[in-house]
Every structure is written in C-alpha cells, then in structure tokens.
Structure 1
Amino acid sequence: MVKARSRPHVRDFHDDDLDGIVRLWQAADAGADSPVYSLAEVIASCREDHATVAVHGDTVVGVAVGRAAHAQGWLVFFAVDLVFFAVDEHGDATAIGGELLDALERRMAPLGLGKLSALVSGESDRAAGLLANGFEERHHLRYFERQMPVQRRELDLLKEVGGRILPRNLWGSVAGMRHEKALLEERLVAPLSQPDLAARFGVVPPRAVMLFGPPGTGKTTFARAIASRLDWPFVELFPSRLGDPRGGMAHALRESFATISELEHAVVFIDEVEEIASRRGGDPPSPTQGVTNELLKVVAEFRDRPGRLLICATNFIRALDAAFLRHGRFDYVLPIGLPDAEARAAIWTKYVPDDALARLDVAELVSASEGLTPADIEYAARRASQDALGRALRTGEESTLQSEDYITALASTRATVSAEVAEAFTQDIATLARL
C-alpha cells in the first residue's frame, strides 16, 4: 500500500519564500491568466504588507498577498500550483486556496477593514477559487490603471535639474494651430508613445527637434504640450542661468545632461538656444564658442539614449552655428508661426470674461488681430478690461464690455512681429525647415 504524501500547510510569509512566489507569478504570467499586479508590486507587498503561503516541504505551492488602503483590503496576488495539486494525495487546490485566504484575512483583520477585494484578469482560473471562498463577483465594473510618470527614486534627480511633471491636458488646451499640432503629433508624439507601431513602418523615434519662429508664437507652449502629451517629465534648461564656478557654463551644461541621463524618460527644453549655439569663428573666438562645442557633444551623446526628447527653440535660426542644424543632430527643424484664425478665437475666448462673450463679435476680433502673437492678443484683452474698470471707477456707473472696447485696445497694441520679421520667417521655412 502506497502511503499518501503529507498535505501542504499554510503559514505566514518568510523571506525565504520569495523564490517560490516568483515561480508562481511567472507561471501565472505565462498563461492566459496574467496577474493584475506586477512582480515588483507583489514582492513589495510580501515584504511590506501581508502574505500567507502554502508549503509542502520546502516548496511554496500557494500564496495569498494583500495590502490595505483606506479601510479596504486588496488581494494583490493569489495563486496555487495547479500542477502540484493535480495529484490527489496532495489535497484539494480549492481547499488550500481557502485556507490561504482565511489566513490572510485573519492577518489583516486587526486593521479594521470593511472588505477584502480582488481584481483578476478575464476568465481567470483564480476566479473559481475566489467564488468558492466567499467572494462575490461584481458585474458592470471595469478596471483602469495609469502609469506614474516618475518613479520615487527619480524625484530627487528631477528636482536637481529643475524638472517637473506637467498637467496631462496641455495638448488639448492648444486650440487651433491644426497644421502644427498634426505635424508634431505625427513626427514626434506618435513614434515616441507608440514605438512598436513606428517600428512596423520603419520609423525611428526622434531624439532631438528644433522649433523656430518669431518671438511670442508659442514655441514654449508647444514644448510643454508635447511633454504633457507624452506624460514625460519636463526639464527646461535656461542658458542665462547655466553657470558653475568650477568650470563655467560648459561644465554646468554637461553636469545637467549627466543628471538627466539617469531619468527613464524626459523632455528637455532649451529656449533661446542661440545664446549658447551661435555661429563660431572670429579672432579672438567668441566667449560662447566653448559652450557651443560642448553643446554639440552633449546633443550627440543625448541621441544615444532612448526615452528622451530634446527640444530646442530659437527666434533667430539664422544665428545658429551651421554644425548645430546638420543632419544627424536634429531630426526635424519645425516652424512655429503666428496663430491662425481658430487659435486667435480660442485666445480671445480665454481672456474675455464669460458674461461679455455673448455681446461681442468674436469674428470681428479674430479678423482685427491677424498678425498678432498670443501674447499680443492677451495684452489687448487685458487692456480692454482694465480700461473698462477704470471708466466705471471714474464715473461711478456700471458699464459693460463691448466689442468697441477690444477694437480700441487693439489699435494701441504694438505687434511683436513686424512685416519684415514675418517675411524673413517665410524665407527661413523655405531654406532651413526640415519637416
């Protein structure tokens, strides 16, 4: 007569159990029943939260891992080794699963939890074990998750270089400018956010891009919107603030990029890059020549690392050193011009008080503000409001904003972009743009 082998027993988790838990997680992940939580999250919860295991000898054949959040318990990982339990002498998998869950519940009961909840993927084999052990399936529920843009270890690095996480809605807030947005979406955002799709078409995700155009046309806004759209940290380096007593501006530039290289993802933005990338030459050499040389090296090294995008912007693209715009350093050289009619309408709507919008002829304001930058339009709108407030204070009478107030304000608004600058920009598009 063959003696039945001993039944697995359930106990609290020990650090020595980790290898067995990893094996169970990998087995689950290899099938159609992938765990909801990552292996790193499961391991962290084993060590920091609550876990029970079923062991047979030295072998882990089942596990239940839980964590508590706001008076509710969550089952992070639950699995039994079905291959092991296929042998009858070893006991019933459902019964062992129940013991694991009961033991986990007892461990977490002192926390004052109201319920223990679980998320499982699709038609999970684990669902039967949960249903057999007191869990109820809640229908009409869907699971959503969102990746955090920065891991905890990166926060200090981001702070060191003055980086930050931007709101996720900035891309949608850039109204109008459909051509520019479509171009940026196609050339930059899609290849970086969907690398597998890009690879299918042989598209290499960009590493660096140059934005150029007249002052005040929104190059910084677009750079921030791209970072927001990608959900990557945004790091803006200011040439005027780069300085290091140990080695000057060139050394500070290299140190900043060395720190940025430790981030998993980043959009790095340098505005007014002509300050550190102007044409070299002359006798004696210009004071910034060494910085330009360093920046050329930094860009080359930056391009070797995936998951990062360098965006440089300039108002004076003709002032840049020729080597800086050479193929191989910047994937694209993209023009950002004055706001189109749709964008101007959105800008007026943003700065005109809501109660005044119904009385205004927005189309008239859009037409009258052609050739103005967003900053010009904002100035005109704020001036009209300020003038109306002053009039009310002087007369003591209530007055309302009318289209005439804004037309008057526009008449005294000096355009940032002159006709000569606009013409030069058109020529630069023809000669220097790389779309």
Structure 2
Amino acid sequence: MSRSYRTVHIRDFHDDDLDGIVVLWEAVHNAVIRPVYSLAEVIASCQEDHAVVAVDGDQVVGAAVGRAAHAQGWVVFFGVSAADADGQIAADLLDALERRMAPLGLAKLSVLVAEHDGRVAALAGNGFGMRHTLRYLERPMPVQRRELDVLGDVGGRILPRHLWEAVAGMSAEKRLLEERLVTPLAHPELAERFGVMPPRAVMLFGPPGTGKTTFAKAVASRLGWPFVELFPSRLGDTAGGMAAALRATFERIGSLEHAVVFIDEVEEIASRRRGDPPSPTQGVTNELLKLVADFRDGSGRLLICATNFVRALDAAFLRHGRFDYVIPIGLPDAAARAAIWGRYVPASVDIDLADLVDRSDGLTPADIEYAARRASQEALARALRTDGGDAEPLGLADYVDALAATRATVSDESARDFLADIEAYGRL
C-alpha cells in the first residue's frame, strides 16, 4: 500500500527502514516519555508483525507498528517527526496500519502511552478513545528465551515469587539477608549511593534442618532470579571427575544474565586440606577456590554455599575476599515455630498453638513437621480402628504425644557448638 502527502509517502515497512525506526524511536522517548515497549520489541514487531512507515525521500519521518493478540490489535510503536504540524502524516499512518491489520478480523486496535506523552492528542484525534480506568503494569520474565537451554543444562529452575513471604518468623535472619543480599543486588543504584558493593558469594552455616536451603531459595525468589542447585555427589559421577564437572557447570552458568547458585553441604568438596599425601578431594577444593574467585568477577549472580559443619571447611575457603558474609542460621524462633505449627494443624482443630510453640523449643522446622504429621496420622489410625464409631478427635494430647516421640535433630551439645561457631566464624 502507498499514499502520498506532499513529498511524504506511506508504505509498508522494509528491512532497510530499521535505522530510521531506531532514530525515530529515540527521538520520541526521553526522560519524561518512557517507552512502554522496548526498542527490541519494536524491531521484532517490524520484522514479524505489521508495520507501515512514512518516508520523505530516503528518510523515515514516521512509523506505526502493530501486533495482534487474539481479537485485539496493539500499537507497539507510533511516532512522527516534528515536520507533521497539521497531523496529516499521523492520521495517514494510523489509517494505513488499520488497513494493514483489518484482514486479521480484529475487534479493536489499542495503544498504551505514558501519562504525559504528547502523542495522546494525535491518537485521540484519530478515533482512539481515552479509557481513564486503565493502568499499564508489567512483570519482567526472569529468564530470556536464549537462556532456557542453559538453565535446563545446569538443572536450574524458576521458583515461585512468594517464597520470601512464606518464611514466617526468623525476623532477624530475614532482615539481615534483606539488608546484606537482596537490597544491594535488587537495587544496585541505591547500594552505590551508600558505597555498598553488591555481594557475590555468601556462606550459610548452622545445624542440620534449620532451613539454610529454604533461605537460599527465598533469596532467589525475592530477587526473581533463576535458582541453580549444584549437588556435589552428582557432579562426582560425571566423566572427567568432580573438578572438571564443577568447572564446566560454572562456565555454563556464566552465560546466564542472573542466577542464584546454591551448593549445599559444601564441606564435601571444600574440607580442610591436610598436606601429603593429598586427600581425594584436595583437587576439587583447589578448583572450587579458583571458581569462587572467578565467579566474583562477574555481576548479576550470587553464590550461596551452606554447611552443617563450618569447622570442617578449609581455612582458605572462608578467608576474606572469597565470601562477603558468613551468616549463621539457627533454630526457629517462637514466631517461626508458630507459623510452622499453623501450617500443619488443621483449621478445624481448636488448640492453643502457643502451648505447642513452647513445647517445641529447640526443634528444627523438619522436627516440627514430623511431629505434626505424626499426630495427624495417629488420630486417623484411631478413627479407622473404631470402624466408623465415635473416635476421639485430633487434639492437643495427640501433638504432645507426637512431640514426646520426636527426637530432636540438634542436640544440646550441637546447639552450644553453634553458638561458639557464631563467635569464631560469623561475618555479618
């Protein structure tokens, strides 16, 4: 299609027009008029969807780009040079785009523009009605299409976005992770203002079952970054050995724009080196030390390692310059225990959770979950034994009995050792 206006012609988009589209897009958008669609999206729609341009000689002086979604069309980009004083080029462009997309059977053609965008008047004068109740919202995708294969290769995944809120209680630990990890990484401009360097690697330590993995996943969820968990035991089964597998995996992760990389029970591959003869894992430890140093040179990625036995780690591994923080994760506090009980005690059961919170002091989240499930299972078994008769409903006594049968994961000695480790190794 083609239409002339003075020396300006309206025609379909050609690939040679791309440079002109870029110049026009940059001229339209500024600090006040923020783009709704990125330049990359506009170019993609020019090439794959529907676009018409206004040209004056060899110069692109206007463009209208559209995209169809089901029965609705969207104007991805609309812009005209300042030479269109009477708005005729704008009108012709919009008409041309409408004709271009009409065969698609669209019910309407819509456009989103910034609040102070001067193009609103041109659009309103060409048949577009204002809908004041509309608001534009967007959510960036955590992984781009080109990264999906890499993420699959390294066993990464996208976690639900609300895991941070699901970690109830543990307010001191959450506040620390929010201040030290999440905020500097999510808002680097704020961190730079205060001279804070975004972290690259952190160590979580504490007794087994205290939720170190849960916190690592919650940080990834809070950031909206892919979560990649590396399992030392699995890496050892690959050809070339664990050191080569670690190196290859970190190289692949390096091509991701963002990622939280998590290594649990890192003491398996970073234990103390003991001289001659070298231990079987010494080469792996050496390789991991190099990888952590290289990892720190990048940006947009965070390495979280976790250990139950911080004392077993090689001294070089915990040295300043490798891990920004060494953070203790202890047993759940009262608020966290209340939240855990609330997750597993049915809403129909009328008991005082505060009693269970007191009785479960010193238990890990996994211990509490076990006790809650055991109480429910025993109550169900009791009901089945009555063959449909009246059985005692699930109540406080069931939970008390279940707690009595639950062996605490963390002994008193381990709890004392953890407090000593905080003094010796903690770096906040």
TM-score above 0.5: yes
Letter in 2 for 1:314: T
Aligned-partner Cα distance in 2 for 1:18–1:148 = 26
Q: Percent identity?
A: 73
How far off is 1:143 after superposition? 1.0
Cα pair distance change 1:244/1:401, threshold 3 Å: closer
Cα pair distance change 1:233/1:24, threshold 3 Å: same
**1:241-260 deviation line (CA, Å, top 9, x unaligned):** 10365421000000000000
- Whether the 8 Å contact between 1:28 and 1:34 is mirrored in structure 2 is no
- Whether the 8 Å contact between 1:171 and 1:228 is mirrored in structure 2 is yes
How far off is 1:36 after superposition? 1.3
- Whether the 8 Å contact between 2:227 and 2:261 is mirrored in structure 1 is yes
What TM-score comes out, normalization by structure 1 length?
Answer: 0.95
Query: Is the partner of 1:267 in helix, strand or coil?
Result: strand
Which of 232, 236, 261 is residue 243 of structure 1 equivalent to?
236
Aligned-partner Cα distance in 2 for 1:135–1:105 = 12
Partner of 1:147: 140
Which of 117, 120, 123 is residue 130 of structure 1 equivalent to?
123
Calculate the aligned-residue CA RMSD, in Å: 1.1
Task: Indicate whether 1:395 and 2:386 are aligned.
Answer: yes
How far off is 1:32 after superposition? 2.9
- Whether the 8 Å contact between 1:280 and 1:286 is mirrored in structure 2 is yes
Which of 281, 287, 301 is residue 280 of structure 2 equivalent to?
287
Aligned-partner Cα distance in 2 for 1:124–1:98 = 17
How far off is 1:370 after superposition? 0.3
Task: Indicate whether 1:374 and 2:365 are aligned.
Answer: yes
Letter in 2 for 1:20: G
Task: Indicate whether 1:234 and 2:227 are aligned.
Answer: yes
Query: Is the partner of 1:354 in helix, strand or coil?
Result: coil
**1:172-196 deviation line (CA, Å, top 9, x unaligned):** 0000000000000000000000000
**1:24-62 deviation line (CA, Å, top 9, x unaligned):** 001112363232111000000000000011111111110
How far off is 1:109 after superposition? 1.1
- Whether the 8 Å contact between 2:72 and 2:108 is mirrored in structure 1 is yes
Which deviates the most, 275-284 or 304-313? 275-284
Query: Is the partner of 2:74 in helix, strand or coil?
Result: strand
Aligned-partner Cα distance in 2 for 1:157–1:330 = 26
How far off is 1:207 after superposition? 0.2
How many residue pairs get matched?
422
Partner of 2:51: 51
Letter in 2 for 1:366: V
Aligned-partner Cα distance in 2 for 1:403–1:246 = 54
Which of 239, 244, 247 is residue 254 of structure 1 equivalent to?
247
Which deviates the most, 294-303 or 12-21? 12-21
Partner of 1:62: 62
Letter in 2 for 1:390: A
How far off is 1:416 after superposition? 0.2
- Whether the 8 Å contact between 2:84 and 2:90 is mirrored in structure 1 is no
- Whether the 8 Å contact between 2:7 and 2:57 is mirrored in structure 1 is no
Structure 1 segments, 4+ long, off by >6 Å, are none
Query: Is the partner of 1:366 in helix, strand or coil?
Result: helix
Partner of 2:84: 85
- Whether the 8 Å contact between 1:244 and 1:251 is mirrored in structure 2 is no
**1:249-287 deviation line (CA, Å, top 9, x unaligned):** 000000000000000000000000000000001432110
Task: Indicate whether 1:314 and 2:307 are aligned.
Answer: yes
Letter in 2 for 1:185: E
Aligned-partner Cα distance in 1 for 2:328–2:411 = 17
Letter in 2 for 1:73: G
Query: Is the partner of 1:85 in helix, strand or coil?
Result: coil
Which aligned pairs between 1:71-110 and structure 2 lie closer than 5 A? 71-82=71-82, 84-85=83-84, 92=86, 94-110=87-103
- Whether the 8 Å contact between 1:162 and 1:236 is mirrored in structure 2 is yes
Partner of 1:264: 257
Aligned-partner Cα distance in 1 for 2:220–2:39 = 29
Aligned-partner Cα distance in 2 for 1:398–1:285 = 67
Instruction: Give unpaired runs (5+ residues) of structure 1.
Output: 87-91
Query: Is the partner of 1:30 in helix, strand or coil?
Result: coil
Which of 158, 166, 174 is residue 167 of structure 2 equivalent to?
174
Task: Indicate whether 1:323 and 2:316 are aligned.
Answer: yes
Letter in 2 for 1:85: D
Aligned-partner Cα distance in 2 for 1:316–1:81 = 66
Query: Is the partner of 2:157 in helix, strand or coil?
Result: coil
Aligned-partner Cα distance in 2 for 1:427–1:111 = 71
Task: Indicate whether 1:204 and 2:191 are aligned.
Answer: no
Aligned-partner Cα distance in 2 for 1:219–1:20 = 53
Task: Indicate whether 1:160 and 2:153 are aligned.
Answer: yes
- Whether the 8 Å contact between 2:272 and 2:315 is mirrored in structure 1 is yes
Query: Is the partner of 1:232 in helix, strand or coil?
Result: coil
Which deviates the most, 395-404 or 249-258? 395-404
What TM-score comes out, normalization by structure 2 length?
Answer: 0.97
Aligned-partner Cα distance in 2 for 1:206–1:33 = 34
